[in-house]
Amino acid sequence: MSDVETGEVIIEKNPDMVLPIASISKLITALVAQQYMNLREPVTVTRSSVAMYGTYGGLSNGEKILGNDLLYPLLIESSNDAAEVFAESYGYDAFIKHMNEKAKELGMADTSFFEPSGLSYKNISTAKDLMKLVAYITKNHPELWDITRIRQYAILKHSWINGNNLSRKPSFLGGKNGYTSEANRTTASYFSIPVEGGNRKIAITILKSNDRDG
């Protein structure tokens, strides 16, 4: 846990332990898509992307969808399909290369990505590195946090619902959860905490947790 504005670490445990991060990966996926793709253009959903593990997103083979709209199932329903569509539309290997370059650019020295969704245990980071990611998004891409606070987003035949329990908290300003059997429960989230004299903007990153919400 740290103060986003000052960088002060408030409490930490094993901040440099390298662990799988699961769907927190999708925050980098979104950043890379924004930086390297024209999200006002449609992308095409492929058979291989809808064959990904997980049913969230409700995308169908051959469907065309604007990149900007695809950010919603990616970030509020944690759609693995959406992550794959972004990577495949850009060029899979090049997209993953950009994800790793982005991590390096942000000084996330112990972070690396193998694929765009977070399903792989090879998508790894540390709590300290993820603090840098939260701070970067807060300063440079707060619109991504805005998406993660939305309860529901509907377009055409789709209606995507936010499954993040933390988003129900009044103090929640944005973030991304994850879960796989290898990673257990993870989060990289941003809160406004009331303190004497105002509010304090706090980043909380948790890896390998049995009680993330607690």
Tokens of 117: 């969704």
Told to judge if 78 belongs to the known catalytic residues of this protein, a careful annotator would answer yes
Catalytic residue among 2, 25, 49, 78: 78
Told to judge if 167 belongs to the known catalytic residues of this protein, a careful annotator would answer no
Residue located via tokens 């997209």? 95
Tokens of 47: 């058979």
Amino acid at 98: H
As a whole number of angstroms, the distance between CA 203 and CA 139 comes to 12
Catalytic residue among 23, 25, 125, 189: 23
Catalytic residue among 26, 128, 132, 176: 26
Told to judge if 159 belongs to the known catalytic residues of this protein, a careful annotator would answer no
Active centre residues (catalytic): 23, 26, 78
